Homo-oligomer: A and B are copies of this chain.
Amino acid sequence: MAGILQGSLRLRTTLKGPLSIFGSSSASGGLLHPPQPAGLRHGTARRRTLHDRDDVTKTTSPGASPERLPFSTVTLEDLDFFRRILPGRTITDPDLLESCNVDWLKSVRGSSEVLLRPQTTQEVSQILSYCNSRNLAVNTQGGNTGLVGGSVPVYDEIVLSTALMNKILSFDSISGVLTCQAGCVLEHLSVYLEQRDHIMPLDLGAKGSCHIGGNVATNAGGLRLLRYGSLHGTVLGVETVLADGQVLDCLSTLRKDNTGYDLKQLFIGSEGTLGVITAVSVLCPRKSKSVHVMFLGCETFDQLLKTFQLCRGMLGEILSAFEFLDSECMRLLNTHLKLDNPISDCPFYMVIETSGSDARHDEEKLHNFLEEAMTSSLVSDGTLATEESKAKALWSMRERVTEALRHDGFNYKYDVSLPVETIYQLVTDMRAHLGGQAKSVVGYGHMGDGNLHLNITSPTKDAKLLAAIEPFVYEWTSARRGSVSAEHGLGLKKRNYIYYSKSSRAVAVMAGIKAMLDPRGILNPYKTLPDRLL
């Protein structure tokens, strides 16, 4: 039986990052989620609880895991209600619940005992209206591919899955605007659009599982941001159910709309803490007639930087991705996934993609660029793919680094953005700082966006190593006005590190918005915002 304590203990023993820096119980800061008065927990006393919880002892540790907030617990009456509105889609079977209680990295675990699978916005509205009145916490879950513990319950929050909300509502081939429910899988949308001569403006490694609603809720970045910009620009509309069950319809399909504040922006990147995204409309670019992928190697990071600049100048409007990895990534790809280096060994590698409307023009531009890059000795070796299968193989050298890392041991993952010229210095400095303590220290990421994925591995979880990494990595980033979470979000794991990138005034405004839209704090509690306001 998964009680609160068990969930909490599990959380504490499996969490990778300590959540302590702002989590101390000192009186200096105000509690962001002050314990609610018992009166808010109306109904629980006179209801039968789903499980006997008399054995529960509250954890009061000031350390990693947050205190469970005084939400109600799910009763049999609650289940009756859910089963009435979601017949056959109210799941309590522990085996079926297992996968939605654990994140993809298997780094955090909750103890939810109820999974709800609505199909319509109206059903989501009914669920939230009920949960809000009952003070039941809700964890919205898309494809559960997040890396910061944002998509799984921390305690016994009800899991609201968008998996059955997977209908495409409309596609307008003239404007390129797609409108769909939140639970559509990114790859399915991509396939649907490619058949209609369009593409999604975002692409990421998790595309086979992640939901578009989750992408929008986490403001996913990915591989196409360099060309098509962030979701704040390409998402035209969002339909959201607010905590009290009211539907906020901002599902515009217009490119321009200056009638009042752009509310949808609030929900993009709010990680399910301000509302449940039920549908989105997205501006989709035309599919390019010609796509080329290059895999190039160079000797120094400075050369890599210069190659990027050369690319921007010579490939201009056809440049659609500029990714990089270091030789340590290549070693892990060789060792764990048996992927062969398609070129000769180099300290740094680039995956460069172009997308254009005229293959001959693109090839000419690529030829000129490669000639210039080789003759000026920026690039040591390289290969160019025009066929789709070869292009995919080259892309996999970049996309499968995450997978290779999982085979290397316990992962410490950092996702920072920095002025592009400084991003690799963090990897170098971290290596020097750690000496021989880590198994691997690797750097890769989205060069064009100044976004570094710094990953450190150890044979098993290693508290001493972690103490050497943090807060070093955050302080290093903060000192350069970087972001401690470029595209992964804060979720559970990084919520208390927000102050490294945001001022206390900004966090206070965020907390004000949260309190306004979700006064009881039932939506994805313990996530995104820190435990305490400074």
Q: Please state if B483 and A257 are interface contacts (CB–CB under 8 Å).
A: yes
> Quick one: closest B residue to A491, CB to CB?
B258
- Pick from B230, B269, B505: contact of A261, CB under 8 Å: B269
Known: A365-B361, A421-B174. A268 touches B259 (CB 8 A): no
Q: Does A86 contact B (CB under 8 A)?
A: no
Minimal beta-carbon separation of A150 from chain B (angstroms): 10
| CB–CB B506/A517 < 8 A | no
A96 proximity list for chain B (CB < 8 A): none
Q: Which residue of B lies closest to A317 (CB)?
A: B317
Cβ 8 A contact of A358, one of B248, B361, B483: B361
Q: Are B262 and A268 in contact (CB under 8 A)?
A: yes
Set B247, B252, B500: member contacting A483, Cβ < 8 A:
B252
Is A513 part of the contact surface with B, judged by Cβ < 8 Å?
yes
Complex Cα spacing A450 to B358, Å: 27
A79, CB-defined interface residue at 8 Å: no
Say whether, besides A256-B450, A269-B258, A420-B175, A263 and B510 are in contact (CB < 8 Å).
Answer: yes
Whether B259 and A490, one on each chain, are in contact in the complex, defined by CB atoms closer than 8 angstroms, is: yes
A347 contacts the other chain (CB 8 A): no
Comparing A292-300, A305-313, A430-438, the segment that makes contact with chain B is: A305-313
- State A249–B181 Cα separation when bound (angstroms): 35
- Asked if B248 and A509 make an inter-chain contact with CB atoms under 8 angstroms apart, the answer reads yes
**What interface size band does chain A fall in?**
35 or more
The listed residue (B230, B258, B484, B494) touching A218 by CB distance below 8 A is: B258
* A364 touches B (CB below 8 Å): yes
> With an 8 A cutoff between CB atoms, is A409 at the interface?
no
Could you say which residues of chain B place their CB within 8 Å of the CB of A314?
Answer: 357
Q: How far is the CB of A220 from chain B (nearest CB, A)?
A: 9
CA distance A449 to B316 in the complex (A): 23
Q: How many copies does the complex hold?
A: 2
Please state if A254 and B510 are interface contacts (CB–CB under 8 Å): no
* Alpha-carbon separation in the docked complex, A175 to B486 (Å): 16
Chain B residues near A252 (CB-CB < 8 A): 481, 483
Indicate if the CB atoms of A486 and B256 lie closer than 8 Å: yes
* Cα distance A286–B313 in the bound complex, in angstroms: 8
**B260 touching A490 by the CB < 8 A rule?**
yes
How many Å from the CB of A478 to the closest CB on chain B? 11
Tell me whether A485 and B258 are in contact (CB under 8 A): yes
Closest B residue to A357 by beta carbon equals B316
The yes or no answer to A234 lying at the interface (CB within 8 A) is yes
Asked if A465 CB lies within 8 Å of chain B CBs, one says no
Residues of B within 8 A of A365 (CB): 357-358, 361
Q: Other than A253-B481, A259-B490, give 6 A-B pairs with Cβ distance below 8 A.
A: A175-B450, A218-B258, A233-B233, A256-B487, A288-B316, A318-B357
11 contacts between A and B (CB under 8 A): A175-B419, A229-B234, A232-B265, A249-B503, A255-B451, A256-B486, A257-B417, A259-B484, A260-B528, A261-B274, A317-B355
- A interface residues, Cβ below 8 angstroms from B: 172, 174-175, 218-219, 221, 225, 229-230, 232-234, 246-250, 252-263, 265-266, 268-270, 274, 286, 288-289, 305, 309, 312-318, 355-358, 361, 364-365, 417-421, 446, 448-451, 481-490, 494, 497-498, 500-503, 505-507, 509-510, 512-513, 516-517, 528-529
